Structure 1
Amino acid sequence: MKGAPPSGRGRVVVTGLGVKSPAGNDVETAYARLLAAESTAVVAKHLVEAERDLAVEMACLVPEFEVEPYITRRERRQLDRAAELLLCAAVDAVSDAGESALVDLPSSRVGVQVGTGMGGLGTMEGTTFDYGAHPMTMPVHTVPRTMANSPACRVAMRYGFRGNCATYATACASGTTAIGEAARRIRYGELDAAVAGGVDAPVTTTIVGAFAKMRALSRRCDEPDRASRPFDTDRDGFVMGEGAAVLVLERRDLALARGARIYGEITGYAANCDAFHIAAPDPEAATATECMRLAVADAGLSPGDIGHISAHGTSTVLNDRAEATAVHRCFAGQSPPLTAVKGVSGHLIGGSGALEALLGLLCADRGVVPAVANTLGSPEADLVDVVIGSRRTIARGPVLSNSFGFGGQNACLVLTPPA
C-alpha cells in the first residue's frame, strides 16, 4: 500500500482513539452512526427554555454519559464544558493506546496539542449573564474555566506530560491543525508521542444566536434531523454541534517496539490561508486546492493514490461550493469518493476536523465510504464524487481529511491505514 512518507524523517502512527461526540461517546458507536448516515440533530431543550427568542433552537448534542469515572466532582467544578469533553475523550484515547506505556516515556517527550475555536466562551457567557451586575461574586474558578488552553493543560496535568503543550485556534480547522502540528513535532524529533485533537462546546444562546444572525445556520427547525445536508441542492446552513475527538500519536519505531495496536499513520499535513474574507471562502478555491495538493505531496503521494475524502462539508451554500471546486481542481476532475461527517454530527467547530480525521482513518482501514446523510444531489455533488444513498466499498487506502475555517484557515491531513 502506498502512503509511507519520504525518507529522512520520522514516521508518526496513531495508537489511541477517543471521542465524546453527538454520534456517540465511544469510537465504535460513532463509527456505526456514521455508517448508518443518521443525523443526530434535535431541538435543544436548553435553548428553548432560555426563552431568548432565538431563530434557531436545534443542535447536535453529546449524549449524556457518566462523567465521574473520568473527573472528580471537585475537578469538574473547575472545568468548562469544552475542557470536560476533551479531557474525557483524552482519557479514553490514552487508555486505548496503553496508559502505562505512555506514562513510562520521558515526560518531557510527550506533548499535548489541542485545537479549539471557542475555548471557554460558554463559561464566559454564563458568568456574564449570572454575575455581570455583581462581578465580585463570580466563582473563583472563572478564569481557568474560560482559558482557551485549559483543555490541553488539563490533559498534561492528568498524566504529567511535560513536553510541548499547545492550543491552536484556527476556527473550524483547529482540530486538524492540532493533529498536524503534533505529527510534525514527532516527525522532526521534538516529541516521541502526543495527545492531539480538537474540541468545542458552542451550543449556547449567545453563540447559536450569533451564528444564526449571520445566517450560517440551517433554519429547518421543524425537521432538525434533515437540516444538515452537505452538498445537497437544498442545503441552507449547518447545525451547531458540540464534542471532542482525540488521537494518540507516537513515533512508529517506539510503537512497534512495545507491540502497540496501530490504527494507521499520519503521512501528510498542510495548512495555509485564503487571505480573502473573514467568513466567506474564496470562490475560486485556489488556496484550498493548494492546501490539498501540499498535504498529498507531503505524504509522498499523488492525487490518484487517495482512496477517499473526508470533506469539510459544512452544509452551507458557499463553503460546499468552494470545497467541491477545490476537490475538482486538485484531482483534475477525477475525484475519489467523498463523504461528510457533518451530515451526522453537525458542526463541532474546533472539534470537527479531529472527529472527521479519526472516523476517516477507520473508514480508510475498513474499506468503506459512508453516504452523506440527507444528501440527494446538487451541481456541487455532480462536480465531485459525493457518496449518496448508500455506503460504498473501496480498497483500503489513504484518506484526505479537509478542514476550512473562518478567516480562510485551511488545513488538510492525509491518514494511511497500517500496511
Structure 2
Amino acid sequence: MNPPGAHAARAHGTPRSTPVVAGVVTAVVGFSSSFVVVLAGLAAVGASSAEAASGLVALCLAQALGMLWLGLRHRTPLTLAWSTPGAALLVSTGAVEGGWPAAVGAFVVTALLIGLTGLVPWLGDLVGRIPASLARAMLAGVLVPLCLAPVTGLADSPGLVGPVVLTWVVGQLLFRRWAVPAALVVALAVVLLEAGDAVRTDRLLPTLAWTTPEWTLPALVSIALPLYVVTMASQNLPGVAVMGSHGYAVPWRESMAVTGLGTLLAAPLGGHAVNLAAITAAMAAGPMAGPDRSRRWLAGTSAALSYLVLAAAGAALTAVVVAAPGDVVQAAAGLALLGTLAASLAGALAEEDGREAAAVCFLVAASGVTVLGVGSAFWALLAGLALRPLLRARG
C-alpha cells in the first residue's frame, strides 16, 4: 500500500528518493560546515589529536542512533546535531584545571543537565528565563575571536588563506548553501598540497579513545554550565521553533532524554554535546524533502545513516587538520561561524531595552579573560544578568 500523498508526489514529478537525498544533504552540510570547529574546541580544552578524532566519531554515532530512534518511533523528520556554538565556547575557554579529563567530566554534567531538562519542567523554565539577548550576546562574544581568524590569516598567510576566503565569497554569490563546505574543501586541499607528507597515515582509520572523567569546580563552572546554556538557547530551543514552523511537534521530553543520553555516552569518548539540529533541521523538515509531508521522516533516517558513513571519515579528517599549516583551518572555521555571529549580534542588540547589559555581556565574553580559573563566558552571563535589572530600573 502506498503512503498517503505518494500518488500526488508522482503526479507532480517529484522523485520518490527526494526525502532520502534531502537527508544526505542535511548530514553532509551539517558535518562539513562545522567539523573543524568541533576539532578546534576539543583540542582547546586539552584533547590530543586521537582524542579529538574519537570525539568527532562518537558525536556522529550518537547523533545517528538518536535520529534513528526518534525518527522511526515518531515518523517525523527530526534531526540531531552536535553543538557548534558549544564547540566555539570550548575554543574560547581553553584549558581548565584538571585538563582533558576534567573537560570530559564537564561534558558528563552537561549531559545530565540536558537529560534532566526533559524530566524536570522547572529546569527548562529556568533556562527559558535567561533573556535571549544575553544568551545571544554571550555566544557572539565567544565567536568573535574565531571569526577574526580569516582576517588575521589573510594578512599573515595570504597565499594559503586567500583561496579559502575567495571560495567562500564566490560561494555566497553563486551557491550560498554550499559556500562553507566548499571553503572547507579548498582548505583541506591547500593543507594536502602544503603539508601532505605531514599527514599521519597511521591515524586514518576511525578509533574510539576512552577518557575517565574527572571533576573540578573551574571546569564545571567554565564548561558545563555555559555549554548547557549555549546548547539549550542556541540549538534546542531554536530547533523546536524550526520544526514548528514546518508543522511538526517535537517530542520535547523524549528528545531531551535521547540527546542527554547520547551526550552522556559520547562524553567519555570525547564528544561534548548532542542536541536538536537548528539550521539544518529545515532541510529535512521543509520543502527540500519533497511535497509529501508523510514521507519527510525518511529524510531524518537518511541523515542518520549518512552520519554513520561520515563517522568513518572522522580520523582521516582529523589527521589532515592536525597537519594544517598556518591559519588555513582556523580561517575556514571562522568563515563557518560568520552567519551564527551575525544572527547572534542581531538578536543581542535588537531590543533597545537591555541593550547596554547585552553589550557588556558581549564584551566580557569576547575579552577571553579568566578569573579564579573560570572562563569569560560564565562571567559574561553573570555580568549581564546582574546589570540588566539595574539598568532597566534606571530607565
Could you tell me the TM-score, scaled by structure 1's length?
0.24
Give the helix-richer structure, 1 or 2: 2
Higher relative contact order (CA 8 A, sep 6+): 2
Give the strand-richer structure, 1 or 2: 1
